[in-house]
Copies of this chain bind each other. A is one copy, B any other.
Amino acid sequence: MGNMKVHHLAPGFWEHEPSLSLGCKRLRPLAPKLHHLPSSSFDLKSFIRPESGPRKLAPSHPNRLSHQVETQPGGTRWNPTQEQIGILETLYRGGMRTPNAQQIEQITEQLGKYGKIEGKNVFYWFQNHKARERQKMKRSSLGLGHSARISPPVTTITLDTRMEIMERSDEDSPYKRKCKSWSFEYLEEESRSPCKEEENRTLELFPLHPEGR
């Protein structure tokens, strides 16, 4: 549940992503966690946003970077630029394995300077990279008993504000649960489906059986 998180409607709210829409789907991030108050209204409504919005983030110049088309065409999947990968790997080597929402947000912001990117891409990158390093390691361990027990030198990198890395365990300890936060997002349906014309049908929610089990 998976994991998810949130917002709304007002125009111009979510920032993320520039316009677009097209075929793509968007997501929504959000949801912070809450510990305390949640504001009342939830924010849930927000989930989806269709569209467009204002963007934000990358302030100025989108640096142009390496390749990457941005225009976005049909939007498909994220295609990281060299710079983005370099930064991510640096972070990974630095010990980061499962960044929290805040960290993801900041990393995304940084990487946004080099090309289009969303928080989920960062999230997935770490998940995949971690998993694949693990496989790779497992595979190679079979082949040889060499151990490179030495841990790599630690480098200090600074990314904007308050981002810190947790301690690094060479191995990446699974299950180290602490607290967490979330964000949820969702993609939007394909919607290519047939009629969608009716915006608010106002149907009723559930029909029957109120049973509560």
Residues of A within 8 A of B (CB): 1-10, 13-15, 25-57, 73-75, 82-83, 85-87, 89-96, 98-105, 108-110, 112, 116-120, 123-124, 127-128, 133, 137, 148, 151-166, 168, 170, 177-191, 196, 198-213
Interface residues of chain A: helix, strand, loop or mixed (majority): loop
Cross-chain contact of A156 among B160, B185, B204 (Cβ < 8 A): B204
Chain B residues near A162: list those with CB within 8 A.
196, 198-203
> Is B35 touching A181 in the complex (CB atoms < 8 A)?
no
Chain B residues near A105: list those with CB within 8 A.
44-48, 186
> Is A161 touching B36 in the complex (CB atoms < 8 A)?
no
Report Cα–Cα, A92/B186, bound state, in Å.
Answer: 16
Quick one: copies of this chain in the complex? 2
Q: Which residue of B lies closest to A184 (CB)?
A: B183
Chain B residues near A211: list those with CB within 8 A.
86, 89-90, 93, 151-153
Q: Which residue of B lies closest to A185 (CB)?
A: B182
Chain B residues near A32: list those with CB within 8 A.
41-45, 47-48
> Is A95 touching B4 in the complex (CB atoms < 8 A)?
no
Given A99-B186, A133-B213, A183-B4, are A205 and B87 also a contact pair (CB < 8 Å)?
Answer: yes
Cross-chain contact of A4 among B13, B35, B49, B198 (Cβ < 8 A): B35
> Is B101 touching A187 in the complex (CB atoms < 8 A)?
yes
